[in-house]
Amino acid sequence: MEGSLLKRLGIPVQEVVLSASNTKNQGILIQETLPSFSLYTKDNLRIDVPGIPCGELVAAFEKDCERYMAITLKKEKKQTNHLWQVLEKYIRAVPNCPKDISFAKGALIRFFREYRNLRNENIDMSAIIRSAIQEGIHFDFYEKGNTSGGGAESLQDSVAQYSSKRRTVEFNCAHYFTDPKRTHNTLAHELCHYIMDDKGKGGYFGTFFESDIGRFWYEMMKSEAFYGKKEWDKAKKELSAEGKDLYGTSSFFTHLASEYRPLLKGYPDPAARMGEMFARVMGIMAERKKGIAVWEPKDMKRMGLQLICDLAAAKANRNEPFYRILIDTIQKTKISPRAKEQLLALKGCQEEITEKGTYTTHEYKAFRKHSSDLAKTMCAVYTAFLEAVRVKRIQQSSPEQIQAEDTLSDQAGGFYDRLAKSSDVRNGRISFRQAQKKRAEAKQAPQKYPLVPISRLEPEK
């Protein structure tokens, strides 16, 4: 049942037959594997690597982390490479593996870490990797970005890219490894482009990008980036001294501001700029503990990402009717004139601060008021959106269909979470198998009558 569910969700798994002298202990263990990937050498040799058991990778990763901590405490001097040793073992098992695969070392280590963060920290965000695997999105790693014939000619100056034409996420190994943005999950970034590419136009044009709710969320996130400007430091310090609990002071806002600035120069097309903003915010949150769950469900910052994750979850669960309801409702949701007026007031306040060049406590309070007013209105819009989705779902589905869909979604989240935890312990394979056996024993029908020793049934002498 559970193995079947994993396959329905497109989760990469490996079946291992377990056996013992006692036939009651025979069975099949389902292990999570890293998604299969391909390496492209500078000579355009392609090496296809099948799924690598995550349990082995996690155990090796933890050993490397322990050594790193020991070095920090000056108890050890040399860092270990257990994670790369596991990766290398499986890559070298491929028949056409070349002698030198060192070009992929740093990139694959980072890929595993980003997959694990995206996969384990938050069930909402894990849907984007599940849906990508379900739909056959492949992962390619290039030694040289302009490899001829590999289809990654435009990758030479990039860290990574999603290709809707080739249905791949492609990484430039050298740039991906050396990219200094460790606060950014590149895998989540590119998968965000994939899930928003419902029209197959390359990741920058889709239903959500073209909708009112998508455009407004983008404009609001630009205003959130404004909180991260260094010019606010003095005003924030003064307000903090007054004992005020300030909005916009966490590292998220500084990271968002640093991600937004390059968009103004590098992406002249407004549609591409908006698509990048969505992807970069997703990348920031995928690196953070708890993912988007760090925000309340109706927090304005969570709205856009939650909708993207909901679309991905519908795809991952193969719930096409629910996916179409979400797309249709996103298209038809319109923003009220009041929200438009509030947005103009917020932008006007922002422009005035920028023109004057003053970032005082007065300007901060004024900007915060306009920002808060718009966030409240958008929260009401989002609540109405969720209600519209609920009503459409009831109208288009029978109660039995809705219950079956909800059950599948709950099973997917619960089992995927349990599988992640089984991979995250030292002896994941054994503990996971023990849990399987306990569930099987619990399902056995109880005996109708208790067993009584024969000696008790004999008459007393």
Beta-strand relationship, 138-142 and 168-172: parallel
What pLDDT does residue 60 have?
A: 93
> pTM for the whole thing?
0.82
One DSSP character per residue, 229-291 reads -GGGHHHHHHHHHTT---TT-SHHHHHHHHHHHHHHHH--SHHHHHHHHHHHHHHHHHTSTTG
What pLDDT does residue 28 have?
A: 67
What pLDDT does residue 243 have?
A: 78
CA-derived radius of gyration, the chain: 26
- The span from the CA of 363 to the CA of 341, in Å, is 19
The two three-digit tokens of residue 132, written as one number: 């990508």
Which residues, including other chains, have CB under 8 Å from residue 59's CB and lie 6 or more apart? 82, 426, 428
291: alpha, beta or left, given left = phi > 0 and alpha = psi -120 to 50? left
What pLDDT does residue 33 have?
A: 87
Confirm if 141 and 107 have CB atoms less than 8 A apart.
Answer: yes
Q: What angle do helix axes 399-423 and 123-134 make, rounded to 10 degrees?
A: 100
What is the dihedral sign for C-alpha 337, 340, 346, 349? negative
Confirm if 134 and 9 have CB atoms less than 8 A apart.
Answer: yes
Closest CA to 208 of 218, 191, 196, 221: 196
- The span from the CA of 424 to the CA of 61, in Å, is 10
Q: What is the DSSP letter of 22?
A: S
What pLDDT does residue 200 have?
A: 84
3-state secondary structure 218-231: HHHHHHHHHHCCHH
Closest CA to 192 of 213, 206, 175: 206
- The span from the CA of 138 to the CA of 155, in Å, is 16
Q: Express each pLDDT in 284-297 by its tens digit.
A: 999 888 888 889 88
User: Can you give the pLDDT of all 461 residues of the chain as single tens digits?
Assistant: 456 666 666 667 776 666 554 445 556 667 788 999 999 998 889 999 998 998 899 999 999 988 888 988 888 889 999 999 999 999 999 999 999 999 999 999 999 999 988 877 567 888 899 899 888 999 999 998 655 545 555 677 789 999 988 899 999 998 898 766 567 899 999 999 999 999 887 777 889 988 999 999 999 999 999 999 999 999 999 998 887 778 999 889 999 998 888 888 888 888 888 889 999 999 999 988 888 888 988 888 999 899 999 999 999 888 888 999 999 999 999 998 999 999 999 999 999 999 999 999 999 999 999 999 999 999 999 999 999 998 888 887 666 666 666 665 555 555 545 555 544 444 444 454 455 556 556 655 444 444 444 444 444 44
